Chain A
Amino acid sequence: MIPELGHLALWLAASFALLQAAAPSIGLWKRDEALAALARPAALAQALLTLGAFAALTWAFWVSDFSVKLVAANSHSQKPDLYRFTGVWANHEGSLLLWVLVMALAGAAVALVPTALGERFRVRVLSVQAFVSLGFFAFLLLASNPFERLVPAPTEGQGLNPLLQDPGLAFHPPLLYAGYVGLSVAFAFAVAGMLENAVGPAWARATRPWVAGAWALLTLGIALGSFWAYYELGWGGWWFWDPVENAALMPWLAATALLHSIAVVMKRDALRAWTLLLAVAAFSLSMMGTFIVRSGLLTSVHAFAVDPTRGLFLMLLMALYIGGALTIYALAAGRVAEGRQFALVSRESALVANNLLMSAMLGVVLVGTLYPMALEAAGGAQISVGPPYFNRTTLPMLFVAAVLMGIAPWLGWRRSGTGHLAARLLPAGVAATGIVILALLLFGIRGIGALLGFAAAAWLGVASLSILLRRGVTLNIAGMAVAHLGVAVSILGATASGALQQEALVAMRVGDAIEMGPWRAELKDVRPVAGPNWTAIEATLDVQRNGRPVATLKPQSRMFVAPPQETTEAGRAGWWGGELYSVLGKPDGSGRWQIHLWVKPLVRLIWWGGLLMAFGGLLALGGKLRLPSRVRTVAQEAVA
């Protein structure tokens, strides 16, 4: 009964989405304000009903109602509680329902939050948003009904892919989706801005929080996904330039560029047409990414349940919305004047440089991801474009971006002097030089890439810190500095874990030990263990550094019951922001086990940096608030 109610709620929500899309379109055209104003209550009703539908599906998963086909196919009564819950969105139908839910909640937020752009603009945004939602509702109801029944109901479900039974992966997709949906709001603002001819500083101020929030969520989602791949896939890598990763990276790059260009619109009323294009592109790339992931268009290591028919549906939606938005763009962008010109040395030109680099990186990732497909379609050779290509092309650009990011915040708007720069950037310059000397002499690093990486991290890190230490920075500026600091921290983690990594691959008996520099790992034990829905062979490795015990690693080779599948669980332990990482391999038949051990210094900084970036994005939502100065006043009063 409850699944049927959920299904009904979904249909009703879709009807309200139709109302929300149509009422303002007709109302604004016929100058019927009362009709147009219906969009707001419609948005609220749509959000409540979608929430109801989502609750119904969650209930079906929670009580393991195997008469619902989706539950039977993706759940199992013995699954731990957390995964019975997260199983709701760990499948195609459920994730689409989650997408629609987040979208509806964002619509409700637009309907409720006060706006400086006027009621007319608000209902226009709601209408555009509902048009987009409608497509997803249609996809959900017509091609991927999550409430479909299974007759007769099986007594047991088929279980969830064991790789997905993990807290990291449980929360990675919702974060990404929330980010994509945030970008869909920016998309709606852009389309409404073009239709209403309202693009300017006020528009930028209204749009920016959505972009910053979406960017922060995307950053978190990508960082979590990377961390998950690192500890779950068992190869010790954290970024593989796989199509599925690139699909998430592209909207992030577009959102990063958008976040910077929208600041130029806000402060200087320039770069309007370009910013509009970025706002359309960011959401378009989100849709394209989802399409690539769900349609199985490209071969990926992050295997998804794919379905070409559904891929076709998604592609039609994509063609409709993106094609429509770009058509409006082609017609309207000519009217949107680009605004003022810049001086070469100014804050805005630095932001333009950021946009150039982000867009070029985006272009390279797009071309690299799709090139093999295009070449094959043209009857050419089968080629692979992998990490070597992406690293060689994007890392130099990232380096230049990091150098500029250190300088840009010190430049003034309009026309900036350069006299103060030397003094402001002195600490950063000293730090960069110092770390290079340290790396050369103390660690004997000779790779030019690694040295540049260390230099960039120190330069950007110290430059960002010195902004944070200034008096009375606004939350906006603090957010920027924290996000930039996060980039520096990530670069440091990536460089150090690569350049200073130590690795050993040894077949060993219980009692044998690996010696690796100051490290010594002894295999203490190999024995079977049992978990809630798996059994495993577990090795115990005691690790010492310079003779002192530092950690015990327990890598496993796991066998899951439902569905039957084998996975490797890395045995990990933290060590000063770095990690000891071990994988249990196969036995060699004569009592020895293959052990793969890595020491990865500072590797955790990669994800801590991601967290900092996301935190910076959220801080920036605070706008002009000056929290630190107020803290100082309170302190002064306390002293007085």
Chain B
Amino acid sequence: MKAFAIALLLIASPVLAEPPTPPDVPLSNPVQEQRAKAVMAELRCLTCQNQSIADSNAAQAQAMRMEVRERIAAGEEPEAVRAFFVERYGDWVSFVPPAREDTALLWAAPLLFLGIGVALVARRFRR
């Protein structure tokens, strides 16, 4: 029944395609554009499968790019722009994991593995 109702709606609604988004307009200042690009590459698109907003064609990624460019153009630091998005969507939105207690193990992993390895190997060496 529900499926039938949805099918009816589909027929009744003339347009169900999302309107196309306007094209990206890069910042005129190349240094700022570079900085904005770097931030975009580290923000995760909300409606995609594991893509950064820099790489996504999704409409919302486009809105987020616009926000990044405006904030960078207004002189905001890249860290502050990232914080703006994290405040709204949580740590998930940033591809840079936070440095906190609950990610200590993650950030310590390289040294931890190297350390364990060196400790294991040390006794194999002849003095």
Question: Is there a contact between chains A and B in the complex with CB atoms less than 8 Å apart?
Answer: yes
B-contacting residues of A (Cβ < 8 Å)? Answer: 233, 235, 237, 240, 242-243, 270, 299-301, 303, 338, 341-344, 349, 352, 355-357, 359-360, 363-364, 367-368, 371, 375, 380-389, 393-394, 396-397, 505-507, 585-589, 592, 594
Q: Which residues of B contact A587 (CB under 8 A)?
A: 20, 23
Chain A CB within 8 A of B60 CB:
no
**Sample of 13 A–B contacts (CB below 8 Å):** A237-B55, A240-B50, A242-B50, A300-B50, A360-B110, A360-B117, A368-B106, A368-B109, A381-B90, A381-B91, A387-B95, A394-B110, A506-B26
A592 and B52 CA atoms in complex are apart in Å by 26
On whether the beta carbons of B110 and A505 are closer than 8 Å, the reply is no
On whether the beta carbons of A385 and B97 are closer than 8 Å, the reply is yes
Distance between B109 CB and nearest chain A CB, rounded to angstroms = 4
Distance between B53 CB and nearest chain A CB, rounded to angstroms = 11
On whether the beta carbons of B23 and A367 are closer than 8 Å, the reply is no
Q: How many residues of B contact A (CB 8 A)?
A: 41
A384 interface neighbour in B48, B92, B124, Cβ under 8 Å: B92
A299 interface neighbour in B21, B49, B114, B126, Cβ under 8 Å: B49
Distance between A241 CB and nearest chain B CB, rounded to angstroms = 9
Q: Which residues of B contact A397 (CB under 8 A)?
A: 110, 114
* Interface of chain B residues 49 through 106 with chain A (CB within 8 A): 49-52, 54-55, 90-98, 102-103, 105-106
Taking A397-B110, A588-B22 as contacts, is the C-beta distance between A341 and B102 under 8 angstroms? no
On whether the beta carbons of B102 and A388 are closer than 8 Å, the reply is no
A-contacting residues of B (Cβ < 8 Å)? Answer: 20-26, 41-42, 44, 48-52, 54-55, 90-98, 102-103, 105-106, 109-110, 112-114, 117-118, 121, 124-126
Q: Which residues of B contact A356 (CB under 8 A)?
A: 114, 117-118, 121
A383 interface neighbour in B55, B91, B121, Cβ under 8 Å: B91
A589 and B126 CA atoms in complex are apart in Å by 74
Distance between A352 CB and nearest chain B CB, rounded to angstroms = 6
A382 and B125 CA atoms in complex are apart in Å by 43
On whether the beta carbons of A341 and B50 are closer than 8 Å, the reply is no
Q: Which residues of A contact B121 (CB under 8 A)?
A: 352, 356
A172 and B82 CA atoms in complex are apart in Å by 36
Distance between A299 CB and nearest chain B CB, rounded to angstroms = 5
Taking A356-B117, A507-B25 as contacts, is the C-beta distance between A386 and B95 under 8 angstroms? yes
A386 interface neighbour in B44, B112, B117, Cβ under 8 Å: B44
Closest to B54 in A: A235
Q: Which residues of A contact B49 (CB under 8 A)?
A: 299-301, 303
Taking A301-B50, A303-B49 as contacts, is the C-beta distance between A389 and B106 under 8 angstroms? yes
On whether the beta carbons of B113 and A364 are closer than 8 Å, the reply is yes
On whether the beta carbons of B106 and A384 are closer than 8 Å, the reply is no
Distance between A159 CB and nearest chain B CB, rounded to angstroms = 21
On whether the beta carbons of B110 and A586 are closer than 8 Å, the reply is no
Q: Which residues of B contact A299 (CB under 8 A)?
A: 49-50
On whether the beta carbons of A338 and B117 are closer than 8 Å, the reply is no
On whether the beta carbons of A367 and B106 are closer than 8 Å, the reply is yes
On whether the beta carbons of B125 and A386 are closer than 8 Å, the reply is no
Q: Which residues of B contact A385 (CB under 8 A)?
A: 95, 97, 106
Q: Which residues of B contact A506 (CB under 8 A)?
A: 26
Distance between B115 CB and nearest chain A CB, rounded to angstroms = 9
Taking A237-B55, A349-B125, A382-B92 as contacts, is the C-beta distance between A359 and B117 under 8 angstroms? yes
A388 interface neighbour in B55, B95, B106, B112, Cβ under 8 Å: B95
On whether the beta carbons of A382 and B90 are closer than 8 Å, the reply is yes
B102 interface neighbour in A242, A380, A589, Cβ under 8 Å: A380
On whether the beta carbons of B21 and A341 are closer than 8 Å, the reply is no
A233 and B96 CA atoms in complex are apart in Å by 23
